[in-house]
Amino acid sequence: MTVTIVGTQLGDEGKGALVDRYGGAADVVVRYQGGDNAGHTVVEDGEEYALSLVPSGAVRGTTGVLGNGCVVNPQTLFSELDDLRERGLEPDVRVARRAHVIFPYHRRLDGIEEEAKADSGEEIGTTGRGIGPSYEDKAARRGVRVGDLLAPDVLREKLEHVVPQKRALIEDVYDADAGEECDLEALHEEYADYGRRLGEEGMTVNCGDYLADRLADGDNVVFEGAQGTCIDVDHGNYPFVTSSNPTAGGATVGTGLGPTVVGDGEVIGVVKAYLSRVGSGPMPTELDGDDEAEALATEIRERGGEFGTVTGRPRRVGWLDLPVLRHAARANGLTGIAVNHLDVLADLDELAVGHAYELDGETIHTPPTRTEAWEECSPVTRSFEPWPDVDWDAVADEGYDALPAAARTYLEYLESELDTEVYAVGVGPDRDQTIELVDPWDRV
Ligand code: GDP
Ligand code: IMO
Ligand code: MG
C-alpha cells in the first residue's frame, strides 16, 4: 500500500510534518526527487528536526530511501546522519544506485550562474545546493551516479571526462577561478571514500527492486515529495522552478515503480492555509505593494516562522491562491488534502483568498501556461471571516468540530472548490497538533 505526499504550492507547505504524522503506520519512506534543497521539519514533543536529505520517517525510526530520481550530496547525507545519531536516533537510510551525485562543482556553478543572472535581474533565487547543475548533467548524460562511487576506477574515468569540462566552463565562460571544486585527485579521493562508506554500511539499493520486494511483503510505503507543484520543472512557473518533478508522477519515475502502484494508493496534497515563497517568480496573491499589505505579510511571516529552513531567507507571503490549488489537484490527481497553519491565520484583521485571476479582462480559474502572463494576473479575491485565536492544543485533542466555525467554513470552501476531501488539519507544528479526519491507510 502506498501514500504519496506532495506539495500543492511553492514548497514548505508542511510536508515533513505530515509524512511524520502518517509515518506511524509506514514501513518505508521514500524521497523520489530533489536533493538537499529540501528542508522538512518534524516536531516531536517540542523537539524539532530539520531534514534536508534524510526522509522524514527517520524521526520515528522508519527506513528511508533516496530514490533514483534524487540528486544526492554525500557530504550532506553523512553529516545529517551523524547529527541525527548524535541526537539519539538510529536512522536507516538506503540510497538508489541510480541516483545522481552532487559534486562541489555543481554547487559552485549554481552560485556562479545565479550571480551571472543577477546582473540582469533574472536570478531564480536557488538554494545554491547545486541542484540545477547536477540535473543538467543527468540529462546531458555525463552525470556520476551513486553506483559509480562504489567502483573507484569507474568513478575516476567519469571524473576525468567531466571535470575538465567544468573547469573550462568556470574559467573560460564565466572567467572565474576553478579552485578546489575542480581538483580531480581530491574529488576522486573524497568521493571514493563516500563510496566505501556507502558500501560498508550496506546503504545502496536497486530502488525499484527493493521497494517492489517491500510492497510484496505487505509493507506500507510513503512517497515523500519535496518542493511543490508550482516549482515543478514541467508544471510550475518555469524558469522560476526547481529542476525536478515534485508532482505525483515523479514518484513513479523517481523510484522505479509503475504508475499503477502510485495510482492504486492515496495521493495527498499538502496545503498551507496561505502562500509562501522563497525565491523569484509570479505570486499574484502576494501581500505587498502598500504599507497595510506589507504589515499583514510581516505579521503572518513572524507568526508562521516563514524563514527558509535551508537558507534562512525570509519567505514572501500571500493569500491562499485557488488557481494554484486547482492546478495542483489535477496535476497530482489528489485524492485528499491536508491543510496546515490554520493557527497562523487566527485573529487577523482581515482574511481573503485569491479565488480566481483576472488576465486581459477575462476571469480565469487556473494559471496561464506562460509565466509572463502569470506575472500579469491580478487576483479576484474573496473575503472570509477571520477566526479567533483559541487553545489549539485543545482543538487538536477534541477534533474537527472543535475548530472555530469560520475556520470550518474556510476548509469547506476548499473541499468544494477542489472537489476533494480534507484528510487532516494542522493547527500547530507538533505531531500532536494535527486533526486527522481520514486515515489514508484505511482507504488504500
Ligand atoms: P516542508 O518543506 O513542506 O516539509 O515544510 P517546512 O518544514 O519547510 O516548513 C513548514 C514549517 O511550518 C515548519 O516550521 C513546520 O514545523 C511548521 N508547521 C507545519 N504544520 C504547521 C501548522 O499546522 N501550524 C504551524 N504553526 N506550523 C506548522
Ligand atoms: P521543500 O522540500 C521552498 C526553490 C528555491 C528557488 C527554486 C529553485 O522544503 O518544500 P533549487 O535550489 O531547487 O534549484 O531552487 O526552488 N526551492 C524551494 N522552495 N521549499 C523547497 O523545498 C525548495 N526547494 C527549492 O527557493 O526558488
Ligand atoms: Mg521546506
188 is catalytic: no
Grid coordinates 518533478 are at which residue? 245
Residue 262 pLDDT: 97
Residue range(s) of every CATH 1.10.300.10 domain in the chain: 101-198
Residue range(s) of every CATH 3.90.170.10 domain in the chain: 271-442
For 380, phi then psi, to 5°, come to -95, 105
Ligand nearest to the CA of 242: 2
Tens of pLDDT, residues 59-83:
999 999 999 999 999 999 999 999 9
40 is catalytic: yes
Is-contact 231 38, C-beta < 8 A? no
Q: 20, 27, 36, 40: which one is catalytic?
A: 40
- Measuring from atom 14 of ligand 1, which residue has the nearest CA? 41
Is-contact 168 183, C-beta < 8 A? no
Pocket of ligand 1 (CB under 6 A): 7, 11-17, 39-41, 43, 304-305, 309, 340-341, 343-344, 426-429
Is-contact 55 66, C-beta < 8 A? yes
What percent of the chain is predicted at pLDDT more than 70? Answer: 100
pLDDT in tens, the chain (444 residues): 999 999 999 999 999 999 999 988 999 999 999 999 999 999 999 999 999 999 999 999 999 999 999 999 999 999 999 999 999 999 999 999 999 999 999 999 999 999 999 988 899 999 999 999 999 999 999 999 999 999 999 999 999 999 999 999 999 999 999 999 999 999 999 999 999 999 999 999 999 999 999 999 999 999 999 999 999 999 999 999 999 999 999 999 999 999 999 999 999 999 999 999 998 999 999 999 999 999 999 999 999 999 987 778 899 999 999 999 999 999 999 999 999 999 999 999 999 999 999 999 999 999 999 999 999 999 999 999 999 999 999 999 999 999 999 999 999 999 999 999 999 999 999 999 999 999 999 987
Ligand nearest to the CA of 315: 2
What secondary structure does DSSP assign to 190-237, as a single string? HHHHHHHHHHHTT-EE-HHHHHHHHHHTT--EEEE--S-GGGSTTTSS
- Measuring from atom 19 of ligand 2, which residue has the nearest CA? 11
Q: What's the pTM value of the predicted model, to 2 decimals?
A: 0.97
Pocket of ligand 2 (CB under 6 A): 7, 11-12, 37-40, 124-127, 129, 131-132, 226-228, 231, 242-243, 278-279, 309
Choose which residue among 10, 124, 232, 242 to substitute to test ligand 2 binding: the one with the highest number of ligand atoms within 8 A of its C-beta.
Answer: 242
- Distance CA(4)–CA(22), nearest Å, equals 11
Q: Report the number of secondary-structure helices (H) and strands (E) in the chain.
A: 16, 20
Residue 218, C-beta contacts closer than 8 angstroms, at least 6 positions apart: none
- Measuring from atom 27 of ligand 1, which residue has the nearest CA? 429
Report how far Cα 301 is from the mean position of its chain's Cα atoms: 19
Is-contact 57 441, C-beta < 8 A? no
CATH of 2-96+204-263, picked from 3.40.50.2300, 3.30.365.10, 1.20.1260.10, 3.40.440.10, is: 3.40.440.10
CB atoms within 10 A of CB 115: 12
The CATH class given to the 101-198 domain equals: mainly alpha
What secondary structure does DSSP assign to 103-157, as a single string? -HHHHHHHHHHHHHHHTTT------SSSHHHHHHHHHTT---BHHHHT-HHHHHH
Ligand nearest to the CA of 49: 1
Residue range(s) of every CATH 3.40.440.10 domain in the chain: 2-96+204-263
How would you class 118 by CB atoms within 10 Å of its CB: exposed for 0-12, middle for 13-18, buried for 19 or more?
A: exposed
CA of 242 to the centre of ligand 2 (A): 6
CATH number given to 271-442: 3.90.170.10
